[in-house]
Structure 1
Amino acid sequence: MTNPSMKKAAIILSFSIVTAVFSGQAWAEQGTSTSTPANVTSSDRSNPYEVAGINDPAEFTTYFAKLQKAVKGNNPAEVADLISYPLNLNKDNKKYVFYNKNEFIKKYDRIFTSRVRENLLAQKADKVFVNYQGIMVGDGDLWIGKQNNKLGVIAVNIINNPYEVAGINDPIVFEHNFSLLQKNVKEGKKSEVANLMVYPLKVNHNGKTMQIKTKKDFIAKYDKIITAKVKKALLAQKADKVFVNWKGVMIGKGELWIGQFGEQVGVFVINQ
């Protein structure tokens, strides 16, 4: 993993999540005085969606259920009926506008990406962020509001994922875990570092492989695993300057490899 050919082949990736702004509707900043955490029950007379221009909370919850059903059923035509045109798509720091159903259906998979669909289906209608600009779904992947007196999706924001080829679904999770790994290694917090490993962990040294099967085993052998060389490479690595391929995300010159296994993003190989 550390040979010169790999170094030559390394692709330096730069990752930044851009807060997109679109005409008439902005990607809202949470925590402003105009925000309202929605929490609707059948007996709740308040309307947490009112600030977004929705007078009847049942109108939104009914609409949202239809949208999730159409997306889950992979029915682009039904989803297209639930868009409020023109639809703004923010991607790669550029804005694209779709004016009708036909345009939307042709580009459906590029607009409703796997991440957008996943975050939409995971969203609870009573746990959305609301402000005067609309109703935010997920991490801002979708915005729902009224346009031309029609309730629908008014904007889609696609967050680029430079770690996708490594099988990592969410770049935010990777960067969060990587930051924690650096912090905990720097502070010598063995138990916290152990939580960021994927077991069984492979540790390669002088052509031999040792398997660390449990967190307890890792902590007991911590100083033999996280050597000075490994620690130095990890702490010197910038998250936006990593090499990525189908095997995972390489740290340093291959001292550590990070990947996703199930829902866990963590270190699965250490090369000393």
Structure 2
Amino acid sequence: MKKTLFFVISFCLFLYGRAFAATTAPLANIQTAETLLTLEDLQNPQKMCELNDINYTDAVAWVKQLQTAMRNQDKNTIANLAIYPLRINDSPKKIYFIKDQKQFLQEYSTIITTPIEKKILQVDPTDIFCNSQGGMIADGTIWFAAQDANLIKIKTINPP
């Protein structure tokens, strides 16, 4: 009786193991696919932007456009470079939204403060970080996203 019970349990475990292996095989392939990125890829801003649907060349040009607008105090151009509602993370406990371009222009001096302006103007336009959340410059002061092909917009401002 013990031998029969041992055989039945062993056989069931064998079948369960085969079934488990068959269901996890696709997961193994997914994990393998995720590891196709090398450390070099992860450290390459152009590669990371392209993987997250942001054209790196367009993003660099966009940063230069933003810097030029800030140097010239061109509030309208800066307002046009944002998507609304625009999220402002003033502090961990104070998050608010700018509903439209009109409100942005009215509150410009409280949104684009001197510390924000300095950070943006000092950043190297090629120093862009991209992930699934979008692109970022100036240590996360500005987050942006590609809205359409070749159309990049500010989506979040994090004052320093």
TM-score by length of 1: 0.40
Q: Which has the higher helix share?
A: 2
Alignment of 1:57-96 (within 5 A): 57-92=56-91, 93-96=93-96
Q: Which amino acid aligns with 1:57?
A: Y
- The equivalent residue for 1:106 is 106
- The Cα RMSD (Å) is 2.3
> C-alpha displacement at 1:128, in angstroms?
2.2
CA 1:133–1:90 in structure 2 vs 1: closer, same or farther (change >3 Å)?
A: same
Q: State the AA in 2 paired with 1:154.
A: K
Aligned-residue sequence identity (percent) comes to: 24
Q: Between the two structures, name the one with larger relative contact order (CA 8 Å, sep ≥ 6).
A: 2
Residues 1:113 and 1:134: Cα distance change in structure 2 (over 3 Å): same
Q: Give the greater-gyration-radius structure (CA).
A: 2
Query: Alignment length, in residue pairs?
Result: 119
Q: Does 1:49 align with 2:49?
A: yes
- In structure 2, runs of 5+ residues without a counterpart are 1-38
- How much has 1:148 moved relative to structure 2? 6.7
**4+ residue segments displaced more than 3 Å:** 35-40, 147-150
CA contact (8 A) 1:91 1:157 kept: yes
Paired residues for 1:1-272 under 5 Å: 36-38=42-44, 47-54=47-54, 56-92=55-91, 93-147=93-147, 150-159=151-160
Asked whether the equivalents of residues 36 and 131 of structure 1 are also in contact (C-alpha less than 8 Å), the reply is no
TM-score, normalised relative to structure 2:
0.65
Ranges in structure 1 where 5+ consecutive residues have no aligned partner: 1-32, 41-46, 160-272
Per-residue deviation, 1:52:
3.3
C-alpha distance 148-126 of structure 1, shift in aligned 2 (>3 A):
closer
Contact 1:38 1:128 in 2 (8 A): no
CA distance in structure 1 between the partners assigned to 2:147 and 2:159 by the alignment: 21
**Any idea what SS the aligned residue of 1:124 has?**
coil
Structure 1 residue 97, shift from structure 2 partner: 0.9
Distance change in 2, residues 1:128/1:37 (3 Å): farther
**Contact 2:79/2:101, CA 8 A, preserved across alignment:** yes
| Alignment CA distance shift 1:79-1:38 (3 Å) | farther
